[in-house]
Amino acid sequence: MLRVSAHRARHRLIDPAPPWKIIKKVPRHCPASGPIPVGDRDIREAPLILLIFSSSPATPTPLTLPAPLLSRTFPSKTHLFPFLPCQPSFWVGFNYLTTYTMASTVGQTITCKAAVAWGAGEPLSVEDIEVLPPRAGEVRIQIHHTGVCHTDAYTLSGKDPEGAFPVVLGHEGAGVVESVGEGVTSVKVGDYVVALYTPECRECKFCKSGKTNLCGKIRATQGKGVMPDGTSRFRARGKDLLHFMGTSTFSQYTVVADISVVAVTPKISTDRSCLLGCGITTGYGAAVVTAKVEEGSNVAVFGAGCVGLSVMQGAVKNKAGMIIAVDVNDGKEAWARKFGATHFVNPTKLSGKTIQEHLIEMTDGGCDYTFDCTGNVGVMRAALEACHKGWGESIVIGVAAAGQEISTRPFQLVTGRVWKGCAFGGIKGRTQLPGLVDDYLNGELKVDEFITHREPLSNINTAFEQMKQGDCVRCVVDMK
């Protein structure tokens, strides 16, 4: 008997379309338990297994399979042909065993769907693109899920000084390694992975410093929207498409540098792990790694979106005292309290005082730590000036529009306040992100709670519209 369960996150549907070649057919009754043999081999070691009844249907009916059958490094896939229609979680028996092989996609150009940004301010176009195979030091990933982030919308708007078109956006994605280029040892075919827009080579000046999570190895080419060798792996309508932040997760298949991907346990589903590729990690890391919030300290978080809520749970992790959420949308109060805020302030409803004055009164002299998650330079100044004299630190997380500058009176800094910023929360993706996955699996890190909306790839423009609404924390796009 073989357990066929479609409801577990590590399973996926298999396309029955490829041409199959019969290499042997062995009538055999399935064992009651244990691995199903193919001659002298375990089913998990066979190049490809096709299980059918003696009266097999003319048209294949794909079912999902347990992850162990899909995580092998062999260049093939596995199908089941049931005698009767099967529903998830049924026990299905088979009395014929047939072994097939199929052509591999390894080393081949793949045609798949992607959301292409052809120009600034234009809706994304979901269409077929070609994804070239990975070259040396590169990894091709089948993206299963991706989040939609304000950074994607910022670039699409045309306000990003590094933004260029046409481009495949997306930087918060997770999936499975389809193939690897020459010399890649950090991940292997079949690994469940998260794409990293902040790479980690462990060799450059930045990585070796021990002072930052930034990496300089591929920064120049990543900023230009190309792979480290200066070329693209995407083509559509006869043109090369640019990459985005080294990840381009709005494509069903993407190619990344091997220093821009991290393997994670398949125990976390890709619709969750994708969110660790940006928003959650950025906010949580800002509190835990960059600021190192101390027990009993007073914290103010400006902006109660995905990043701000993640800062709050980071502050909770480090046992902060007061955790004050600041947002102009009263609807965010319930969300903020769900993630650990002890207080909520709407600065538009303060009469006769500024938000910094109000926070200084609330905290008896000022906050120990403040975090800007808005990207508004005026808010950044208010966050600094709400800090306690002598030791208060303000962490800038939000990305301001091109050309914007921050300012304050020098006296604010002379008297001991500190302004600092961080990318990806100061987290080293390849080294530290698997630990966040463990925290999630152990119930110590909220991830599920961020997902308020879901859309298929075909509705990705709807996801962008939802992101602008006050009730959307994160929309996850199903790329399959």
Catalytic residues: 149-151, 171-172, 201, 204, 207, 215, 219, 278, 474
Structure tokens at 235: 């083509």
Tell me how crowded residue 32 is: count the other CB atoms within 10 A of its CB: 7
Q: How far from 446 is each of 196, 306, 437, 438, 461, CA to CA, in Å?
A: 20, 11, 10, 12, 27
Q: Can you tell me the distance from the alpha carbon of 221 to that of 242, in angstroms, rounded to the nearest whole number?
A: 11
The answer to whether 19 and 102 are in contact (CB under 8 A) is yes
**290 phi/psi in degrees, rounded to 5:** -75, -55
In this structure, the chain runs to a length of: 480
What CA–CA distance (Å, rounded) separates 426 from 210? 11
What token pair was written down for 238?
Answer: 């006869």
Per the listing, tokens 């070239």 go with 132
Q: Is 91 exposed, middle or buried (0-12, 13-18, 19+ CB in 10 A)?
A: exposed
Q: How many CB atoms lie within 10 A of CB 64?
A: 19
Burial of 410 from C-beta contacts in 10 A (0-12 / 13-18 / 19+): exposed
Both tokens of 289, joined, read 């790694």
Distances 387 to 58, 90, 371 between C-alpha atoms, Å:
71, 59, 10
Beta-strand runs (E) in 278-412:
299-302, 323-326, 343-345, 369-372, 393-396
What element of type H or E holds 85? none
